[in-house]
Structure 1
Amino acid sequence: MKLSVLFKRIQHAVIQMPELEEEMEIRGITCNSQKAEEDSLFVCIQGNRADGHDYIEEACNLGASCILIEKLVSGGRMLKFPENVAVVLVKDTREALAGISRIWFGSPADKLKVIGVTGTKGKSTVAVMIREMLESLGQKCGLIGTIEHHLGNEVVTSQNTTPDAFTIQSYFAKMVEAGCHYAVMEVSSQGIKQHRIDGIWFEIAVFTNFGEDHIGPGEHASLGEYRYYKSCLFEQCRIGIGNLDDAQCSYMFQRKCCTKYGFTCREEEGQERGFRNSHVLTAEKISFLMEGGELKTVFYADDRKYELALPGKFNVYNALAALQTVSCLGFEREEAGDVLKHLVVRGRMERVDAGENILCYIDYAHNAMSLAKVLKMLRIYEPERILLVFGCGGNRAGSRRSGMGRVAGELANLTIITSDNPRWEEPAKIMADVEEGIKETSGAYRMIQDREEAVFFAVEMARQGDILLIAGKGHENYQEIQGVRYPMDDRELVRKAVRLAAQKRQKKEQTECTQTLL
């Protein structure tokens, strides 16, 4: 593609342009200097740990013919460029990348009805529910999310909730090519802040809930900033759907021009909260059941019964969000809701077989808000005990650690504090921060740094009637230590622990039998 075409709608300044017989042709775009190729455009992105402006020489050595920058000085030194490359300056390279990416792929989002889901919790579950509902109705739907990306004919492992702008546009292009008419995507506040969804018009945007999270270095400077960026999604959608029971719902829709729909588990009048009653979906007669060793949820909406394979009231909210979405798209809620009976979302209250006597669930709860919701929900089912295994991630706000410790001590019968993704921090230090919080309660706990050992201990301790919750990592199949991701999956840890526990019991029984015979 001609360089002038890429920058036709981007405000920019040409700093350097080599003399060529013909206009420069760009054959690829990348933000990773190591992936620069012959005649490619290298976009310098200022990240939390690295600055693309420091890797210009590497990109040029690999063949990049054009460099996109947002500053001329880096690290106190003037940037230098080879004479044979073009250099273009913009105010914000992330913002420019979004516009360039749309042009590069031919604005594929315009050929899709895009549904965006934002909120502190529930994004993944709601997005999966919407996709499964549409697919069950014969509508081909792509998905961009935390767990994985469905691109029509291809499934890609996810690295983060909202990919960079170039990747998003490439995914939309693949969806269009595969014949998708719909695309549902999780939209993080960071994704909005970093211009990753710039220029995408959403048919529907969904707000699930709001809580304190993602505040700290490399994330958001304050709760107010976090909330503000969440709300920005509703400035670029036709229909906005919000959780009316969340205190921040009115803020999300304040001065927004989208048509507003809502959902609630209360029976208050929607008009009192700025929503027309006909635009509000209400859940009633919610009940929580334990059938055949499974936790289930039942509720009614518009006098129709819905059954959920997923436990808890928060999943009723998630289901309402998905049902309201498909209804706004013109489909019947009741027919779409049939998928809820059997729907399982990886790492979101996912049941793992841990033997006949143990109810074991894997969940992504990784802050105090989500952990408290899950533990309080499990209490409703009246287990004998709740055993909890969890840790906290490194290089994240330290305040969440003691908070999670307090929640665990107050709501679990036994907590095993272990390692999560320590990233660049020392696991023992993170665990000590968690311990400070749990010490403020009377809750029983153990400290076991090795996550596999911690899971094995919990499985051994579990008795009939107990519920074992392993929280924090959810769908993840790795553990990140010092920048390296090592294979680790909580499901496999549980299964291995069950096998080892069974072998240990069998060996003990054989020993006792031998001693009796002697």
Structure 2
Amino acid sequence: MKLSRLLDGCDIITASGAQTMPDADIEITVLTTDSRSARRGSLFVCISGARSDGHDFAASAYESGCRCFLAERPLDLAKDASVTVVSSTRRALAVIAQRFYGEPAASLRLIGITGTKGKSTTAELIRSGLEAAGRRTGIIGTCGIGYGGSLRPSANTTPDALELARTLADMRDAGVETVVMEVSSQAYKLDRVYGLHFAEGVFTNLSPDHIGPTEHANMEEYISSKARLFAASALSVLNADDAQCGRMAHSATGDVIGYGIDSACALRAEDIRETSVCGNAGMSFEVGGVRFTVAMPGIFSVYNALAAIAVLRAEGVGDGVISETLRRAHVRGRLESFSDGERRFIIDYAHNGASLTSVLSVLRPHTEGRLIVLFGSIGGRAELRRRELAEAADGVADLCIVTSDNPDFEDPDAIIAEICSYLKVTPSVRIADREQAIQYAVRTAERGDTVLLAGKGHEDYQIVCGKKVPFSERAILERELGGVLVGA
């Protein structure tokens, strides 16, 4: 695609070098933000990140043969380099990436989900319901990128604008009609979804999280980033019981529908009961006289199901299909339960205070013996989580095994020490090596005990010193229990 076509409509401040020469419209064959993949025919987009600045790598890209650059300031390159300066390379990239890949978002029906908790479960419920109704559906989120029966990892909950455009193009070419996408607050702050429009936007809930030097400066910025989804949605599906519902509704430019339990709203769950689905704990409830059962425990599962019902009904899916979808619900790494006949082991993604509180509230009443919680917290960001996680477990769990959880470049022992400093009631054990911590939990647990492995969920890796190291809690559990894991 010609450079002029790619840049058409971008907020160009200056253009210099080869681009300004007569009849010098350049053919672009590759878009990249990584100087290591730049070559002749590439357009290298300089992105300023938390740890590095793409402008500093422009010379390296030039040496590799790249002659076209998109930047936010002039670059000191030879005269045969074409340098276009724009006000925001992130926003420009979001636009030109879609253009480069043939505007895939325009040919797909997009459903966006945002919130602190429940995004992955709600997304999977919606995807499953649409698939059951015969719609070819893709999913993008924390658990990965999936369509056509395959699932691959994603570096972020919402991919960067370039990967997102490429992924949507692949989905379009594979015959996907609808894409269910988790939209993180970072996705809007960093303009990953800039310019995209959603058929439905879902708000699950909001609590303090992702506040720190490399994420959001404060709670106001976090809330504002979440709210931007609803300015880009034709229908906003909002949790009416959440304190921030009004803020989200104020941002909405299309229709709004509320769901909840305590508030008067369009989709209100009533006559809520705990139940059993195929031997597993679940929840049963009525909406407007129609009874639904979701195969997941806890009040938060009712909220996730309500959001899914609202979207699926808006998409024309019948209640019969929705009901069967909820009864078969299963999301990897979300309250996954295993047993050796005497003890129960739970794998869950609960990685902040609010989510850990929710999970513990479900497990505590159904634990005959001790409730043992194994958890840690990530390094380098979201330091507030450490206190919140400790406070969520303190006084509720009978034993805390504090360990590593994606320490990255930070000292795991320092993170663990900080967490333990907030534990005032519940006894704790410190084991930095997560595998050894799991081994300790299995060998310590007695008949009737429940052991919660919190924080990893679907993840099959640990992030250590900037690298993903293979790590499977399931494999460790299976080995320690002496055989194949059995669902409980």
TM-score (norm 1): 0.90
Letter paired with 1:97:
L
Check whether the contact 1:162–1:188 (CA below 8 A) recurs between aligned residues: yes
Check whether the contact 1:404–1:437 (CA below 8 A) recurs between aligned residues: no
- Partner Cα distance (2:95, 2:368) in 1: 53
Match of 1:491 in 2: 474
Letter paired with 2:32:
T
- Partner Cα distance (1:369, 1:28) in 2: 43
- Partner Cα distance (1:345, 1:86) in 2: 48
Check whether the contact 2:233–2:252 (CA below 8 A) recurs between aligned residues: no
- Partner Cα distance (2:285, 2:368) in 1: 22
- Partner Cα distance (2:252, 2:393) in 1: 39
- Partner Cα distance (1:255, 1:155) in 2: 33
Aligned-residue offset at 1:172:
1.4
Aligned-residue offset at 1:293:
5.9
Q: How does 1:314-463 map to 2 (within 5 A)?
A: 314-351=300-337, 353-438=338-423, 440=424, 442-463=425-446
Letter paired with 2:161:
A
More displaced 10-residue stretch of structure 1: 380-389 or 362-371: 380-389
- Partner Cα distance (2:426, 2:121) in 1: 30
1:9 lines up with 2:30 in the alignment = no
- Partner Cα distance (1:291, 1:204) in 2: 29
1:257 lines up with 2:244 in the alignment = no
SS at match of 2:422: helix
Counterparts in 2 of 1:117 and 1:340: CA distance versus 1, 3 Å:
same
Check whether the contact 2:267–2:288 (CA below 8 A) recurs between aligned residues: yes
- Partner Cα distance (2:124, 2:399) in 1: 32
Cα distance per residue 1:88-147 (max 9 Å; x no partner): 000010011011112112211111111000001111111111001100111111111111
Cα distance per residue 1:181-230 (max 9 Å; x no partner): 11110000110111111111100000000000000011000001100110
- Partner Cα distance (1:373, 1:499) in 2: 30
Q: Which runs of 5+ in 1 are unaligned?
A: 73-78, 271-279, 503-518
Q: Percent same amino acid at aligned positions?
A: 39
Aligned-residue offset at 1:333:
2.8
More displaced 10-residue stretch of structure 1: 106-115 or 129-138: 106-115
Match of 2:181 in 1: 185
Cα distance per residue 1:234-285 (max 9 Å; x no partner): 101100000011110111111532101111122x433xxxxxxxxx111122
Counterparts in 2 of 1:236 and 1:380: CA distance versus 1, 3 Å:
same
Match of 2:57 in 1: 55
1:287 lines up with 2:273 in the alignment = yes
Match of 1:306 in 2: 292
Cα distance per residue 1:429-484 (max 9 Å; x no partner): 0000100111x2x2121111111111111112222322211001111111111112
Match of 1:514 in 2: none
Match of 1:470 in 2: 453
Match of 1:511 in 2: none
Runs of 4 or more, structure 1, over 4 Å off, are 18-22, 290-293
- Partner Cα distance (1:471, 1:226) in 2: 24
- Partner Cα distance (1:290, 1:461) in 2: 29
Aligned-residue offset at 1:315:
1.1
Check whether the contact 2:228–2:251 (CA below 8 A) recurs between aligned residues: no
Counterparts in 2 of 1:46 and 1:178: CA distance versus 1, 3 Å:
same
1:269 lines up with 2:264 in the alignment = yes
SS at match of 2:237: strand
SS at match of 1:434: helix
Match of 1:159 in 2: 155
1:226 lines up with 2:222 in the alignment = yes
Cα distance per residue 1:158-179 (max 9 Å; x no partner): 1110111111111111121111
SS at match of 2:171: helix
Counterparts in 2 of 1:459 and 1:294: CA distance versus 1, 3 Å:
farther
Q: How does 1:37-52 map to 2 (within 5 A)?
A: 37-52=39-54
- Partner Cα distance (1:308, 1:367) in 2: 24
More displaced 10-residue stretch of structure 1: 336-345 or 133-142: 336-345
Match of 1:201 in 2: 197
Letter paired with 2:145:
H
Counterparts in 2 of 1:183 and 1:292: CA distance versus 1, 3 Å:
closer
Cα distance per residue 1:76-97 (max 9 Å; x no partner): xxx4113222100000100110
SS at match of 1:26: coil
Counterparts in 2 of 1:182 and 1:293: CA distance versus 1, 3 Å:
closer
- Partner Cα distance (2:335, 2:363) in 1: 10
Q: How does 1:86-105 map to 2 (within 5 A)?
A: 86-105=82-101
Aligned-residue offset at 1:329:
1.2
Match of 1:80 in 2: 76
Structure showing greater radius of gyration is: 1
Cα distance per residue 1:288-333 (max 9 Å; x no partner): 2467763222222222222222221111111110111010112213
Letter paired with 2:453:
I
- Partner Cα distance (2:386, 2:181) in 1: 29
| RMSD (Å), alpha carbons | 1.9
- Partner Cα distance (2:182, 2:194) in 1: 14
SS at match of 2:44: strand
Letter paired with 1:60:
Y
Match of 2:243 in 1: 247
Check whether the contact 2:198–2:233 (CA below 8 A) recurs between aligned residues: yes
Check whether the contact 1:354–1:494 (CA below 8 A) recurs between aligned residues: no
SS at match of 1:496: helix
Check whether the contact 1:145–1:186 (CA below 8 A) recurs between aligned residues: yes
Aligned-residue offset at 1:404:
1.1
Check whether the contact 2:277–2:327 (CA below 8 A) recurs between aligned residues: no
More displaced 10-residue stretch of structure 1: 171-180 or 138-147: 171-180
